Each structure stands twice: as C-alpha cells, then as structure tokens.
Structure 1
C-alpha cells in the first residue's frame, strides 16, 4: 500500500497498522493495538493480545491481496479508512471500512471494526 497525502494526516497507529497488516509480516501490526483491544472482523470478535495476533496471522495467510485507500472519514470518536481490497478471494474485489478508535493516552488502537 502506498501512502497518500490523506494517509499522512492519519494518526501514526493507523498508518502503521495499515502498512504492516498489508506487509509480508502482518503479525507485526499487533504493536499498534492496546493490550485489551477489540477487533471485529467478518462477524467475529477478537479481544486481547493473543487473539489479535492470531487473527492478524490467519487473515494474511488465507488470501493474497492488494489494498488501495479510497477515503478517510472522521467523527468525534473514530477514524474510518475505506480501502479497496483486490485479490484471490471470492468476489475478487471489495471496499472495506476500517473503523479505528484510539486510546486517548497511548494513541494506540483500542477498537477496530472492519465491515463492508
């Protein structure tokens, strides 16, 4: 994934997550989450370090894909990054909403919800 002008204005934890999760070592994205973070993806909830690390490793191994950032939306509680994901999965292309809620003290991700 290449950084756009828009992504350079994103908080560092979000930029780092997006880069690392699409890299050859997606499990390294775990460092962008708080200890008790919650991820909701594909109807499943992953809570805490071990569950999120397993989710990161599993989701990357399942398919090969590329990601293109389409837009960023912000509100008072969250930042949503909309990415087009294209790859060797059913449907071959989908626009996903990554809704990030950050911890005010650490700046790390405390909640991530991925949806269509």
Structure 2
C-alpha cells in the first residue's frame, strides 16, 4: 500500500519525532531515534554510525537560515517511508524540495537517504 498524501500525524512516531528534532537542529534528540549502525546519505555523501550522523545533524545547513515545510509523505511498506520537505532560505537557489527516505528497524531509524524530490 502506498499513499502520496499522508498527513504527518499518520507517519510513524519515530519519523515525526526525528523530523521535529532535526528541523530545529537538535542533533542530540534526533540522534536518540537512530540505531547504533545507522547510515545517512545526503546528496551522495554517506555518514555511518551514530557519532558521524550526530555530527552531520549538528552541522548540516548551519551556515544558512531556512524554513522547512512538509509537502508530502508516502508509505512504501511498514519499514519504508518517504517524506517530502520544502526548504526555503538563504542557501544557493533559495528553494529545495527534498525526499527523506526512511528505513526503520524496530522503532528506530536504520537508514535515511536525503535526495532531490522525484516528481
């Protein structure tokens, strides 16, 4: 079952909580939602393990001011979810639509791939 118009309250709590923490740059809280051997890929750069990912979450985009708005979400299956976020701010280009592709393991994030939104 897939759905391209899921409300954020239908997303698994772990996805909602991770996004809430990461969008306000709370790397400590966001890291608590990750498995120890988590893998995050952001625009083809890979971060492995909770410590590396924590540093990424702390530093990513820190030099820019921007807002984040969820514009879409879909369930691929029980362990895979895609959330589309629109970022608007002072970074080059000023607007970016990104897909956050989550893989869950148990009640934690095992993998997150952040890439340009696929229309």
Corresponding position of 1:45: 46
Corresponding position of 1:61: 62
What CA deviation, in whole Å up to 9, does each residue of 1:27-84 have, x standing for no partner? 4211111110100002110010110011001104232211111111111351000011
Stretches of structure 1 that go unaligned for 5 or more consecutive residues are: none
Report the TM-score, using the length of structure 2 for normalisation: 0.86
Is 1:72 matched up with 2:57? no
In terms of fraction of residues, the more helix-rich structure is 1
What CA deviation, in whole Å up to 9, does each residue of 1:75-94 have, x standing for no partner? 13510000111111000001
Number of corresponding residues: 110
Corresponding position of 1:110: 110
Report the CA distance between 1:26 and its aligned residue: 3.5
Corresponding position of 2:21: 20
Residue 90 (structure 1) aligned to one of 86, 89, 92: 92
Residue 81 (structure 1) aligned to one of 77, 80, 83: 83
Q: Which ranges of 4 or more aligned residues in structure 1 deviate by more than 2 Å? A: 24-28
Report the TM-score, using the length of structure 1 for normalisation: 0.88
CA separation of 1:27/1:87 partners in 2, compared to 1, >3 Å: closer, same or farther? farther
Range moving further from structure 2, 18-27 or 64-73: 18-27
